[in-house]
Every structure is written in C-alpha cells, then in structure tokens.
Amino acid sequence: MTEATVPHRYHPTTGTGGSRPLRVVVFLCTWCSFSAADKAGTKRLPVPAELSVIRVACSGRVEPTLVLEAFRQGADGVMVMGCHPGDCHYQSGNLQAQCRAVLLDRLLPQLGIDAARFRFHYVASTEADRYHHLTTEFVQSLYEFDTGAS
Amino acid sequence: MTVSRPAMAIYWTGSCGGCEVAFLNLDEALLGIGRDWELSFCPCLLDTKRADLEAMADGSIAVTLLNGCLRSGENLEMARLLRLKSRLLVAFGSCADGGGVPALANEASAAQLLSRICDTAADAVPGQRGDDGTFSPELPAPSPLLPRVHAVAELVDVDYVIPGCPPEPDRLLDAIRTLGMSPLPPRGTVLGCTSRSVCDDCPREKRNHRPQRLVRSCAIIPEEGWCLLEQGIACMGMATRGGCGALCPTVHAPCTGCYGTLDPDAVPVAASLSALSAAVLPDIPHPADDRTVRELYRAALSAVADPLGTLCRYDGARNLAGGTGQSGADRG
C-alpha cells in the first residue's frame, strides 16, 4: 500500500481526473483487513490511489478522535475496517468499533459532515475482493459527492 | 490609611447570567472579596457602562472574569476591549470555555438560524428580518451574528479557565483566591476543578455491570446508590472533569458534562463517545452476522436521541474548530 500523495489520476467510473485529488483515510486492523489489503495487492486487484492507509492493532483502537481529526484536517472520507464478529484478536474490539460507528453515523451530520463520508466494515483477512469492492465503491461515491452528482 | 485593592471585572457576552448568580452565591464570602478586590466593572451588579470601561487605562483591571460565548460582533468587541484593559483574562464558565449550550447552534449556520427565527418558526413574525440580514428594530440584535459560536479563547487570548455551568461557588472562591496570590499558576491552567472525573466524587456504587441498552433518563426511576450509567442512563461523568462534587448524579440526574472534557487532547465529543460506547454491551448471539450486530447496537443506542447534545453539550465550539476554517454547517 502506498500513501495517496501522488497527483490524482484515477477516476473509478470514467477513468478521468476529478477536480482535485480526494483524500480518504482508511484505518485497517492488522489482523484482518490489513492482510486483505495486502492480498488485494498480490492478487493485482485495483485499489483506489486516494487511500491513505493507517495500520492499527485493532479497529477498537480507532478512537472517534482519530476519525474527527482526519475530517478536521481535510479528509474527504474515512473508513474503518475490522474483523468479523467473533473473530477479534482481542475478543471485543471490533464490537466496540461497531458501537462507536453507530453513534458516529448519527453524530457526523450534527457536526456538518455527511454520514456517507464515514464507513465501518467487517473485512476478514481472506476477503481481498471485498476490500477491493468496498474501497472502490466508497471512493466512487465520494467523487459523486464532489461533483454534485448521485 | 486606604490600601488600594486590585480591580476585578465581571462581564457577560453570550450567556444566561447563571455565572453571575454563581458569583453572588458566594454569600458571605463576598464580604471577603469586597475587602480584597475592587469590583470596577460589572454591568450585572454595578451601574457601569461600556464608556466607563473605555475610560480605564489599559491593563488597569487585575482580573476579568468573562463569561459567555462569542456569538455576535458586539460580544467580540467587548472581549477584545476587556482583554486590552485587563492583566488577566479568565474564561469563566462553560460558555466562555467551550461555547457552552449556545454552541449547540453551530449545528446550523448563522443564516439558517436567522431564517428559522425570522421566517419558518411557528411563532415567526413576517418582516422581522432586517435588510442587512440581521433582525429588524422590532427584534433588535446588538450586532450581526458571527458565522458560528466561538469559545473566548478562540478569538482572544485567555490566561485561565474556570469551567462549569455554572461553576460551583466553593470552587470559584478557591479560584479567585488563587488569582489574588503570588506566584500565579502557569498560564492556561484550568482553575476550580480537579484532574479526575466526576465519577471520582460520585457516591454511587459501580457494580461492574454493562447495560444491554441505554434508556432515557425520563423512562426509569434509577435505583438508589447504583451508578446511573450501569443502569443504562447516559451519564457523562466518566468523561467529565470533576470539581462539582458530583451534584447531579447524587440527586439522580445524569451528568451532562458541564465541567468540560477530562481528556485535554481529545476532540471533546469524541472522548465522550468513546466512553459511552464502552459502557454498553448488548447481548450478541454467537455466531452473528455483520448486519445483526449493527442492528443490535443501533437498538441499544436508540435512547440517545440527540448525540451531540448528549455527548458534548458544553464544548461545541471546539469540536471541529480550526483546520479547514469552515463552520460545521458549511461542509458537504
């Protein structure tokens, strides 16, 4: 995975450049979704260049402060990915993350941020395809936000 | 022989006046304050006007207790004027500290607020809106609204903070005494509170229980002596600075967080969100699919009717301030 610092070239729907490069912060649990991202790379599945991946020990490590700070610093979207229910390496970190995500979904609009700019997903280490689909679809939806389409 | 006393000022910007009442609630301690300080400017208690303040020499006021958020241009002018005239400026109360309850209005832009008040509210009177986008003379506002509510420290240099809505008189007295002594605490110190949480002072017992779902505080009669949060009431005591003596939980009312966020490095609303999330544990079957888990948590948290007002009732000015320079309502 690389930092999304390269100039924007990628548009998932049209293949053309957007008005500006989007910045999407993705917090990946090292035990599941980070492996999935790694596998997506070895399987040559395309992953949006807009992603800035941050590897964390557990999705439960992602405090809401990190999500809000990402938005404050100008992120166009934030994703958090963790292990499926029952698979957490620390037993319940992924459930904590889900609990926060449910509240964040309702809180973000109150802070003036569309809830569609934040996503929480469960992605197992084998689910490289799912990682590819989720990230591509998310970035695409953010571009539609940006251009006012949808 | 008359000994000259240091001058003190108390002024309100966007606030309800409760902080002045907290000052008056010092009761007989006021006599001691009158002995040690000269109250030179306080429109709430004395017949002093803005012109009197303007006539004072710069830096002639030793301590100004400024309560209230900065909502209008007039608020900002007065805060700057007081800063000029004062050697120490203290953000006094929750509104000055983090925007307080008025900062919940940051959910909407100033234009949306005016439109609601003047045009769409049930009791709106047609024609209230002035030509310049502010209220008309029939409903006067002192000056145009700022784009959003600010905490005092965002726009004016502040030396100390005394949190609370309102600050407890005992803690206020401690803080005023501290301000009158030498050496002064380091600049930026939060006075009149502790570095531990409200739970630390709360007499209610923790039983290491996590409720399956939250309930609204009006929906149950809480059991005497047992932690309100463990009974499912969204009490924010665990994420809030102590100092109030846990007044609210003691009388069955959940803490609403008026002394401010305990963690100084966190985004205020996020710290409370983390804390509240950790307290809830729905009964999750095993195995459970993603959707089931999400729906269980949705149901468990459905009693939080207003997340922002529950998690961050008093620190709204600080949540997403800075950075992009956009008010919350301007973001897509």
Mean pLDDT of A41-69: 94
Q: Give the per-residue pLDDT at B52.
A: 94
| Cα distances (angstroms) measured from residue B39 to each of A36, B30, B34, B36 | 67, 11, 7, 10
Inspect the interface and report whether the beta carbons of B287 and A85 lie closer than 8 Å. yes
Q: Which residues of B touch A33 (CB under 8 A)?
A: none
Q: Tell me what pLDDT residue A62 has.
A: 95
What's the token pair of residue B217? 């505080």
Band of pLDDT at residue A16, cut at 50, 70 and 90:
low
What's the pLDDT score for residue B309? 93
Residues of chain B with CATH 3.40.50.700: 1-192
CB B316, CB B258: distance < 8 Å: no
pLDDT digit string, tens, across residues B173-226: 999 999 998 899 999 999 999 999 999 999 999 999 999 999 998 999 999 999
Domain boundaries, chain A: 34-147
What pLDDT is recorded for position B42? 93
Mean pLDDT value of segment B38-53: 93
Q: Is the Cβ of A113 closer than 8 Å to some Cβ of chain B?
A: yes
Q: Under CATH, domain B1-192 is a member of which superfamily?
A: NADH:ubiquinone oxidoreductase-like, 20kDa subunit (3.40.50.700)
Spatial separation of the C-alpha atoms in residues A97 and B39, rounded to whole Å: 52
Residues on chain A touching B107 (C-beta within 8 angstroms): 110-112
Distance from CA of B323 to the nearest CA of A (A): 6
**What is the edge-to-edge ordering of all strands in the sheet holding A24-29?**
A51-56, A24-29, A77-82, A118-122
Q: Tell if the CB–CB gap between B287 and A86 is shorter than 8 Å.
A: yes
Q: What is the DSSP letter of B201?
A: H
pLDDT for res B192: 92
Q: What is the mean pLDDT of chain B?
A: 88
Contacts of B307 in chain A (CB under 8 A): 103, 106-107, 110
Q: Of chain B residues 89-128, which have a CB less than 8 A from chain A? A: 107
From chain A, the residues in CB contact with B297 under 8 A are: 95, 98-99, 102
Q: What percent of chain B has pLDDT over 90?
A: 72
Dihedral (CA of A103, A106, A108, A114) sign: positive
Per-residue pLDDT at B231: 96
pLDDT above 90 (res B249): yes
Q: What are the tens digits of pLDDT across the range B125-171?
A: 666 666 555 566 555 555 778 889 999 999 999 999 999 999 999 99
Q: Give tens-digit pLDDT for B282-332.
A: 999 888 888 999 999 999 999 999 999 999 999 988 887 543 333 333 333
Which residue among B287, B294, B331 sits closest to A102, beta carbon to beta carbon? Answer: B294
Report the residue of chain B nearest A115, measured CA to CA.
Answer: B332
Cα A3 from Cα B310, distance rounded (Å): 37
User: Could you count the other beta carbons within 10 Å of the beta carbon of residue B24?
Assistant: 12
Coil, helix or strand at residue B289: coil
**pTM exceeding 0.95:** no
Tell me, what's the ipTM? 0.85
